[in-house]
């Protein structure tokens, strides 16, 4: 449920500090990212090339009725067109041409006009008498009406040029395709690497946190940090960061191309920009607010759902279904209202872009159309402008959409960094003393300990365990027995006093050394997904299969494993139901022994075990206690009767100490505890 | 595929006009979009023929503006009509699902994971909404634009050019469908690797004590690295094909433009088509690219929506196990006589009796204690009395009426039940106490809180009765929760009160005070105290000792002690325990 609450805290969309820290993860891959950006410049260029090619095709090769032809009597160069024994060139090979001519198109017919007029804004009429003429308002000029063959002769070169454009365009398409692919792949490679690294860092960080950290942070929340929050960052890197560059390049590119094609038309077209920027700005504020509202209400819905599902029995026994439904309905209605508002805002925003765009079209037609008529700009440019305006709006829409991704990634990164900045309360000293040939002497000297401030769990506890000794802690629930283990392995640090191992304060030892020498059998036998042998050796390659088997035999576990269909390779499911709780207990013994520690700490399980297994557990425990320095936390007093020393803890203090018989004869707390067990119910 | 959406038929009928009009506006938008190339065509040709003056140019600009405004207007309308309605659909579906779940039996919630239910109520509903909002829009848009644009190209421009230019587009649709499938497959692999990673983290952190005890941190980090690497590999595997998709679409659509430039240009030169045709054709092509790209996507969205709808339907089809019988009656005034007559009960999907041949007569106004070890069937008595389950054999009568013949609401209204878990809602403490009643005065809330001995604690909280429970407020101890739950049951002023092991976390002194107050409060009413602690029940009029679902012994505290049976043993043991804990 915690996750749903967190959703409510959507911070700002951009925080330069967070962004800086996020980008620092990209640093090792800056070459790849730089490559992507370079490729994107090219790709954006190709996207801008299409309207340009169309413009060139139209103005240079299709719509050429304002182009001069240079006329010669003799063929002076390659590529000319022969017509009626005269030679026409589009590009003059030299200045010695006889005259100029041009093609004109009037009402679907094409004429070869024997004079160059340039842009013909008033159509002439064709008159055929003695000689053919095109008659304009004030004059008549000799002209020939061209038949299909004639046209093809004059235009063959233009068609060739179109093919040339086609080939160049094809080349660009193919190279853009390849570069685009390289770009997408490289970018994803880099961003996945980055996420891999962040995840790895995060997991290692959490893994080395002290247990008190895990007491405070629910597992579910930590899992969300390591998996989902990093996934959001992945989105930021792939969807926002680099495509941002592309959008910018397209915008800049469009502006540049338009300005070069026609400076004045471009400037006039840019008149829509202030309107565009203003409306995007205004709407962005609205959109952000609407989006936030939707997220907030959705988070409410989620936590309400989750709460109702967990509390369903309470709701049903109190017969409050109708009331709960009404409450839910109200939250749901709020979400609907927020959703409708978002829909409304988008319904205005997107279409308003449409209006601004058409305003751009209108400006182009009004001014550009007039310029075309006057022959100041060519028609192809007009069409190119219309295309570029369309392309101009795409990145702007993209940029507003990425805003949401940016916002949630900022929130995620803030949570991730907060976790990374939390440091383990238990750390090695700078220069830990090496633990040479650990003997197994343990001493608690006036130890005071509390999990939470001032709620003392252990009060002034002192005892000493000599190597080879077996010692047991007994006491009622909450007496502080399990805390002794936690302290010995330095899962928590004590507030006062000293814990010495072979005379060295455990704070001066490296944690690894310490824990490797103390084997602990925990109450709650946690089973990892995998197989049986892996659960014994914890997949440590140094522990051979034979060794595992040998240990399993020693702790009476082998007979159970043998019965499993796959023996030691039997798969174990999460929280494993493959083994009974008694068998799990045996497995825990095996696990501890597999690592051959100098000191063994047994925290006996309180759970119910069937009698047959119980005997085996007892037997195994007796065997283990005899062979090693052992510290046992016992709930069944029968187990520990043979221990060298029994320490009775009560409310955090040591009350009695001695062996079984001594303590019984004292008729104190131990005696009472013993009675309690003895009077076990049937 | 569509059959799954039958559940929503009523909604479509109810909102048919919103959908129909929405589609109409959408078609208007498409028609207007298709008008643009036509305007460009005539504009170009007029311009070419020099048939155009300032006035005409101005008119064409105005056309553009008008079309822009109309486009915006109709786009606004379809968004409001279709997308807005789909949000309404999401709302209704969520309400429908929730109200249905409220009706299902307690047993259903024992069987299903909260996480799964959450997924249905969020992800699945969202997928359905996507299919029936944007999904519909894309289908209509894509089909309409494709058909009309192709038609216009064929009949107004040139058949050969159309065929040639559109030649790459089916490949586009094919590629998008084909790639879509592979991408989906690989995407699922990514998700699998991701959930495997999540499981690993979940497991590792749950077993962190073992990891730390055996100093396995480094190896666990390595294990994690392998999973992490797997996610990376699967991601890259996806990118390999996903990365082709977008560039390929760009390339194929560019190919169409290339054909138009070369071949269309040649046609203009040869006077087969006009320059205006060429321009219009380019514009039509621009309109066609999008539907081709969307084709694969639409199919995907619809499929996902359908699959999600199917999952939701499975829940909606679950029948509540316990419903009012037709002849069930409402009881206005309840005396509180309870009679278990040879009742036997097994939980669903189990073979063992949770309660066997259970006979018990509880006269109105008496207090009954039920004691026994874990799993002895104590709580089952309460569950049956609340009619959360139905006994397979025997009969339970309240005031002489078989429990099945009493309306569930009426029955539960008369029973105040304090659960073992004492679940509290994340709202204020006052609201939690007043949960079972429509309205309660502050005095009433405080009165029951005082009976439950929690008033003083509440006053110590930062905002007293207005303090929030849970993450947004205070974390309550088990005993505080139990006492608030007791107050919550009392405020209903029930004729029957059941405390199901709900004093276990309360210390014995406080327990005594609560029981003393309860005695007064419940003087003429029936109480059933279920406990494993003798101290809770020793003053009851009658005590029933349960063992493995059967009554082992019954009687008053003194009588049972004399029996020297299980009750006596429990008593002895608890006495000793008490003695031990009393020591300092």
Question: Would you state the pLDDT for residue B101?
Answer: 92
pLDDT value at A1 more than 50: no
pLDDT-derived band at A6, boundaries 50, 70, 90: very low
Distances (CA, A) of A584 to A533, A538, A606: 13, 14, 13
Helix H, strand E, coil C: the string for A635-676 is: CCHHHHCCCCEEEEEECCEEEEEECHHHHHHHCCHHHHHHHH
Interface of A with B in 53-112 (CB under 8 A): 53-54, 57-58, 61-63, 105, 107-108, 110
A151 in reach of chain B (CB within 8 A): yes
Question: Would you state the pLDDT for residue B510?
Answer: 87
Residues from chain A that touch B87, judged by Cβ atoms under 8 A, are: 336, 339-340, 343
Question: Would you state the pLDDT for residue A407?
Answer: 78
Window from A291-305, A336-350, A600-614, B480-494 with minimum mean pLDDT: A600-614
Considering B47-56, B142-151, B419-428, the range whose residues carry the highest mean pLDDT is B142-151
More confident residue, B494 or B210: B494
Considering A83-92, A138-147, A432-441, B540-549, the range whose residues carry the highest mean pLDDT is B540-549
Question: Would you state the pLDDT for residue B397?
Answer: 94
pLDDT-derived band at B447, boundaries 50, 70, 90: very high
Q: Determine the average pLDDT of the residues in A26-44.
A: 92
- B302-353 pLDDT per residue, tens: 888 888 899 899 999 999 888 888 888 998 888 889 999 999 999 887 788 8
Dihedral sign from CA coordinates of A8, A9, A15, A20: negative
Residue B496's DSSP bridge partners are B415, B526
Residue B223 to chain A, least CA–CA distance (Å): 10
Question: Would you state the pLDDT for residue A3?
Answer: 41
Q: Half-sphere exposure of residue A203, counting CA atoms within 13 Å on the CB side?
A: 31
Residues from chain B that touch A370, judged by Cβ atoms under 8 A, are: 54, 57
* From A2, A61, A181, residue closest to B471, measured CB to CB: A2
Distance, in Å, from the CA atom of A670 to the CA atom of B163, rounded to the nearest integer, reads 98
A359 in reach of chain B (CB within 8 A): yes
Cα A476 off chain centre by: 49
Q: Determine the average pLDDT of the residues in A245-252.
A: 90
CATH superfamily for domain B338-420+495-582: P-loop containing nucleotide triphosphate hydrolases (3.40.50.300)
Considering A204-208, A525-529, B7-11, B208-212, the range whose residues carry the highest mean pLDDT is A204-208
Identify the residue whose tokens are 């109450």: A523
pLDDT value at B404 more than 50: yes
Asked if residues B128 and B309 have their Cβ atoms less than 8 Å apart, the reply is yes
- A618-652 pLDDT per residue, tens: 788 777 777 678 888 877 777 777 788 899 988 88
Identify the residue whose tokens are 């909604």: B11
Window from A137-141, A253-257, B149-153, B438-442 with minimum mean pLDDT: A137-141
Q: What is the CA radius of gyration of chain B?
A: 36
Residues from chain B that touch A161, judged by Cβ atoms under 8 A, are: none
Distances (CA, A) of B481 to B424, B454, B477: 7, 9, 6
Distance, in Å, from the CA atom of A381 to the CA atom of A385, rounded to the nearest integer, reads 6
Beta carbons within 10 angstroms of residue B514's beta carbon: 22
Alpha helices in B260-274 (DSSP H): 265-269
Residues from chain B that touch A526, judged by Cβ atoms under 8 A, are: 206-207, 209-210
Residue A332 to chain B, least CA–CA distance (Å): 6
pLDDT-derived band at A13, boundaries 50, 70, 90: low
Residue B553's DSSP bridge partners are B545
Question: B239 and A591: CB-CB below 8 Å?
Answer: no
Listed in sequence order, the residues at least 6 apart from A270 whose beta carbon sits closer than 8 Å to its beta carbon are A255
- A652-662 pLDDT per residue, tens: 888 888 888 88
For domain A442-678, give the fold: Rossmann fold (3.40.50)
Question: A361 and B279: CB-CB below 8 Å?
Answer: no
A149 in reach of chain B (CB within 8 A): no
pTM of structure: 0.79
- Give burial (CB, 10 Å; 0-12/13-18/19+) of B422: buried
Distance, in Å, from the CA atom of B352 to the CA atom of B392, rounded to the nearest integer, reads 12
State the pairing for strand pair A645-650/A470-474.
parallel
Identify the closest residue of chain B to A387 by CA–CA distance: B283
Identify the residue whose tokens are 């092991």: B501
Identify the residue whose tokens are 């659909």: B89
Q: Mean pLDDT across chain B, nearest whole number?
A: 88
* From B198, B251, B278, residue closest to A223, measured CB to CB: B198
What ipTM, to 2 d.p.?
0.87
| Buried/exposed code over A152-162 (b: 16+ C-beta within 10 A; e: otherwise) | eebbebbbebb
- B39-88 pLDDT per residue, tens: 999 999 888 877 778 888 999 999 999 999 999 999 999 999 999 999 99
In chain B, where the domains are located:
1-158+300-320, 159-272, 338-420+495-582
Work out the end-to-end distance of chain A between its first and last CA atoms, rounded to an integer number of angstroms.
43
* From A57, A204, A526, residue closest to B206, measured CB to CB: A526
pLDDT value at A574 more than 60: no
pLDDT-derived band at A679, boundaries 50, 70, 90: low
Q: What percent of chain B has pLDDT over 70?
A: 99
A462: enclosing H helix or E strand: strand A456-465
A323 in reach of chain B (CB within 8 A): yes
Cα B561 off chain centre by: 51
Closest CA to A345 of A305, A291, A306: A291
pLDDT-derived band at B199, boundaries 50, 70, 90: confident
Question: Would you state the pLDDT for residue B579?
Answer: 75
Distance, in Å, from the CA atom of A647 to the CA atom of A479, rounded to the nearest integer, reads 11
> Can you state the angle between helices B16-48 and B275-316, rounded to 10 degrees?
170
- A458-505 pLDDT per residue, tens: 999 999 988 888 888 888 777 788 888 888 888 889 999 999 988 889
Window from A600-609, B437-446, B537-546 with minimum mean pLDDT: A600-609
For domain B1-158+300-320, give the fold: ABC transporter transmembrane region fold (1.20.1560)
Question: Would you state the pLDDT for residue B78?
Answer: 93
Angle at B183 between CA B182 and CA B187, to 5 degrees: 120
Asked if residues B271 and B157 have their Cβ atoms less than 8 Å apart, the reply is no
pLDDT value at A680 more than 70: no
Asked if residues A181 and B243 have their Cβ atoms less than 8 Å apart, the reply is yes
Distance, in Å, from the CA atom of A525 to the CA atom of A617, rounded to the nearest integer, reads 14
Q: Is B462 helix (H, G, I), strand (E, B) or coil?
A: coil
Identify the closest residue of chain A to B420 by CA–CA distance: A314
* From B243, B415, B580, residue closest to A669, measured CB to CB: B580
Distance, in Å, from the CA atom of A30 to the CA atom of A67, rounded to the nearest integer, reads 51
Residues from chain A that touch B49, judged by Cβ atoms under 8 A, are: 107, 123
Question: Would you state the pLDDT for residue A611?
Answer: 64
| Buried/exposed code over A559-583 (b: 16+ C-beta within 10 A; e: otherwise) | ebbeebeeebebebeeebebbeebb
- Give burial (CB, 10 Å; 0-12/13-18/19+) of A137: exposed
Question: Would you state the pLDDT for residue A605?
Answer: 62
Q: Is A298 helix (H, G, I), strand (E, B) or coil?
A: helix
Question: A318 and B101: CB-CB below 8 Å?
Answer: no
Identify the closest residue of chain A to B72 by CA–CA distance: A351
Is there a common fold for B1-158+300-320 and B338-420+495-582?
no
- A412-462 pLDDT per residue, tens: 888 899 999 988 888 888 888 877 777 778 899 999 998 877 778 899 999
Distance, in Å, from the CA atom of B224 to the CA atom of B204, rounded to the nearest integer, reads 9
Question: A63 and B583: CB-CB below 8 Å?
Answer: no
Would you put residue B419 in left (φ > 0), alpha (ψ -120 to 50) or beta?
Answer: beta
Question: B79 and A369: CB-CB below 8 Å?
Answer: no
pLDDT-derived band at B560, boundaries 50, 70, 90: very high
Question: A311 and B255: CB-CB below 8 Å?
Answer: no
Token pair listed for B518: 């309860």
Question: Would you state the pLDDT for residue A123?
Answer: 66
Q: Mean pLDDT across chain A, nearest whole number?
A: 84
Question: Would you state the pLDDT for residue A4?
Answer: 41
Dihedral sign from CA coordinates of A64, A70, A73, A76: negative
pLDDT value at B490 more than 90: yes
Question: Would you state the pLDDT for residue B577?
Answer: 76
Q: Which phi and psi angles does B437 have, rounded to 5°?
A: -120, 155
Residues from chain A that touch B280, judged by Cβ atoms under 8 A, are: none
In chain A, where the domains are located:
67-150, 442-678
pLDDT value at A278 more than 70: yes
Closest CA to A493 of A473, A509, A478, A516: A509
Closest CA to B338 of B356, B363, B355, B357: B363
pLDDT value at B569 more than 80: yes
Distances (CA, A) of A653 to A451, A459, B359: 16, 5, 49
């Amino acid at each position: 449920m915690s996750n749903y609450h967190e959703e409510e805290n959507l911070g700002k969309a951009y925080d330069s500090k967070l962004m800086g820290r996020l980008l620092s993860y990209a640093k090792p891959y800056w070459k790849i990212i730089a490559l992507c950006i370079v490729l994107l410049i090219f790709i954006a260029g190709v996207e801008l090339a299409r309207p340009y090619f169309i413009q060139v095709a139209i103005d240079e090769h299709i719509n050429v009725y304002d182009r001069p032809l240079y006329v010669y009597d003799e063929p002076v160069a390659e590529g000319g067109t022969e017509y009626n024994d005269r030679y026409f060139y589009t590009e003059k090979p030299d200045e010695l041409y006889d005259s100029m001519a041009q093609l004109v198109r009037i009402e679907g017919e094409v004429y070869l006009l024997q004079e160059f007029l340039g842009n013909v804004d008033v159509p002439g009429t064709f008159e055929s008498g003695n000689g053919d003429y095109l008659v304009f308002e004030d004059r008549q000029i000799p002209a020939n009406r061209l038949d299909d063959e004639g046209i093809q002769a004059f235009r063959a070169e233009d068609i060739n040029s179109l093919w040339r454009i086609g080939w160049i365009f094809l080349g660009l398409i193919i190279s853009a395709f390849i570069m685009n692919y390289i770009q997408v792949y490289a970018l994803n490679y880099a961003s996945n690497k980055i996420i891999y690294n962040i995840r790895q860092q995060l997991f290692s960080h959490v893994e080395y946190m002290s247990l008190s950290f895990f007491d405070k942070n629910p597992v579910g929340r930590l899992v969300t940090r390591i998996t989902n929050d990093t996934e959001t960052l992945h989105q930021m890197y792939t969807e926002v960061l680099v495509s941002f560059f592309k959008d910018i390049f397209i915008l800049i590119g469009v502006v540049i191309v338009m300005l070069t094609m026609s400076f004045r038309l471009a400037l006039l077209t840019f008149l829509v920009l202030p309107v565009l920027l203003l409306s995007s700005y205004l709407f962005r504020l609205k959109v952000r607010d609407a989006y936030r509202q939707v997220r907030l209400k959705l988070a409410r819905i989620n936590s309400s759902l989750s709460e109702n599902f967990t509390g369903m029995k309470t709701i049903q026994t109190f017969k409050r279904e109708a009331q709960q439904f009404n409450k839910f309905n109200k939250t749901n209605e709020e979400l609907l209202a927020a959703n409708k508002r978002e829909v409304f805002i988008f319904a205005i925003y997107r279409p308003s872009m449409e209006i601004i765009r058409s305003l751009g079209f209108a400006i182009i037609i009004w001014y550009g159309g007039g310029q075309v008529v006057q022959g100041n700009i060519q028609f192809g440019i007009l069409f190119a402008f219309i295309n570029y305006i369309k392309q101009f709006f795409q990145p702007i829409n993209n940029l507003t959409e990425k805003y949401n991704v940016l916002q949630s990634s900022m929130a995620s990164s803030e949570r991730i960094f907060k976790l990374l900045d939390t440091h383990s309360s238990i750390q090695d000293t700078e220069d830990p003393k090496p633990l040479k040939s650990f003997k197994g002497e343990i001493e608690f000297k006036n130890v005071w300990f509390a999990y939470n401030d001032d709620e003392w769990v252990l009060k002034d506890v002192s005892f000493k365990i000599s190597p080879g000794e077996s010692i047991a802690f007994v006491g009622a629930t909450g007496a502080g027995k399990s805390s002794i283990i936690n302290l010995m392995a330095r899962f928590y640090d004590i507030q006062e006093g000293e814990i010495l191992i072979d005379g060295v304060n455990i704070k001066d030892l490296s944690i690894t050394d310490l824990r490797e020498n103390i084997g602990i059998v925990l109450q709650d036998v946690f089973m990892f997904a995998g197989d049986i042998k892996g659960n014994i050796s914890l997949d440590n390659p140094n522990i051979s299969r034979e060794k595992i088997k040998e240990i399993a035999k020693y702790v009476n576990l082998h007979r159970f494993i043998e019965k499993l269909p796959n023996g030691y390779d039997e798969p174990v499911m999460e929280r494993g139901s493959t083994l009974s709780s008694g068998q799990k207990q045996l497995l825990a013994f095996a696990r501890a022994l597999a690592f051959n520690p100098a000191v063994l700490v047994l925290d006996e399980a309180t759970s119910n075990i069937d009698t047959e297994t119980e005997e085996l557990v007892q037997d195994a425990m007796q065997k283990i206690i005899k062979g090693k320095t052992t510290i046992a936390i016992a709930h069944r007093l029968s187990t520990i009767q043979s221990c060298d020393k029994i320490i009775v803890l009560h409310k955090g203090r040591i009350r009695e100490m001695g062996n079984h018989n001594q303590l019984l004869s004292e008729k104190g707390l131990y005696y009472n505890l013993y009675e309690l067990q003895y009077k076990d119910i049937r | 595929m569509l059959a799954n959406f039958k559940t929503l038929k009523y909604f479509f009928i109810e909102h048919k006009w919103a959908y129909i009009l929405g589609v109409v506006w959408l078609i208007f938008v498409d028609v207007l979009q298709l008008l643009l190339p036509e305007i460009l065509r005539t504009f170009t040709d007029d311009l070419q023929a020099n048939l155009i003056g300032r006035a005409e140019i101005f008119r064409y600009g105005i056309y553009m503006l008008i079309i822009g405004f109309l486009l915006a207007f109709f786009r606004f309308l379809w968004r409001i009509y279709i997308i807005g309605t789909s949000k309404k659909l999401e709302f209704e579906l969520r309400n429908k699902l929730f109200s249905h779940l409220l009706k299902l039996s307690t047993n259903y919630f024992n069987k299903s994971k909260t996480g799964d239910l959450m997924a249905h109520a969020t992800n699945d509903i969202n997928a359905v909404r996507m299919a029936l909002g944007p999904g519909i829009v894309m289908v209509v848009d894509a089909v309409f634009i494709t058909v009309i644009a192709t038609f216009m190209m064929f009949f107004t421009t040139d058949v050969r050019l159309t065929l040639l230019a559109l030649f790459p587009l089916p490949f586009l649709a094919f590629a998008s469908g084909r790639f879509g499938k592979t991408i989906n497959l690989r995407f699922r692999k990514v998700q699998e690797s991701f959930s495997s990673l999540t499981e690993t983290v979940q497991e590792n952190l749950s077993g962190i004590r073992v990891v730390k005890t055996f100093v396995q941190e480094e190896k666990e980090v390595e294990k994690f690295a392998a999973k992490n690497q797997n996610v990376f590999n699967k991601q890259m595997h996806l990118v390999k094909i996903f990365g082709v998709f977008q560039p390929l679409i760009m390339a194929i659509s560019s190919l169409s433009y290339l054909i138009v430039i070369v071949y269309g240009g040649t046609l203009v030169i040869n006077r087969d088509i006009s320059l205006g045709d060429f321009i219009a054709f380019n514009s039509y092509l621009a309109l066609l690219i999008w539907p081709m790209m969307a084709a694969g996507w639409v199919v995907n969205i619809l499929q996902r929506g359908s699959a999600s709808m199917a999952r939701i339907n499975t829940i909606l089809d679950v029948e509540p196990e316990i419903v009012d019988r037709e002849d069930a009656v409402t009881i206005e005034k309840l005396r509180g006589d309870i009679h278990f007559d040879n009742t036997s009960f097994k939980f669903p999907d189990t073979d063992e009796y949770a309660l066997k041949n259970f006979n018990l007569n509880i006269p109105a106004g008496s207090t009954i204690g039920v004691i026994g070890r874990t799993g002895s069937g104590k709580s089952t008595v309460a569950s049956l009395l609340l009619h959360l389950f139905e006994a397979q054999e025997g009969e339970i009568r309240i005031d002489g009426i078989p429990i099945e013949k009493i309306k569930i609401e009426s029955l539960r209204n008369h029973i105040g039940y304090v659960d073992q878990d004492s679940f509290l809602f994340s709202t204020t403490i006052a609201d939690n106490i007043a949960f079972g009643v429509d309205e309660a005065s502050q005095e009433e809330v405080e009165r029951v809180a005082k009976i439950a001995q929690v008033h003083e604690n509440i006053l110590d909280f930062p905002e007293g009765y207005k303090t929030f429970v849970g993450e947004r407020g205070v974390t309550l101890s088990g005993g505080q929760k139990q006492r608030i739950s007791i107050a919550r049951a009392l405020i209903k002023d029930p004729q029957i009160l059941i405390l199901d092991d709900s004093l276990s976390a309360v210390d014995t002194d406080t327990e005594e005070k609560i029981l003393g107050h309860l005695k007064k409060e419940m003087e003429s009413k029936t109480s059933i105290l279920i406990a494993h602690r003798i101290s809770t029940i020793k003053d009851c009029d009658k005590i029933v000792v349960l063992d493995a679902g059967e009554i082992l012994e019954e009687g008053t505290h003194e009588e049972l002690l004399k029996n020297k049976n299980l009750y006596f043993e429990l008593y002895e043991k608890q006495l000793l325990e008490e003695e031990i804990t009393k020591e300092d």
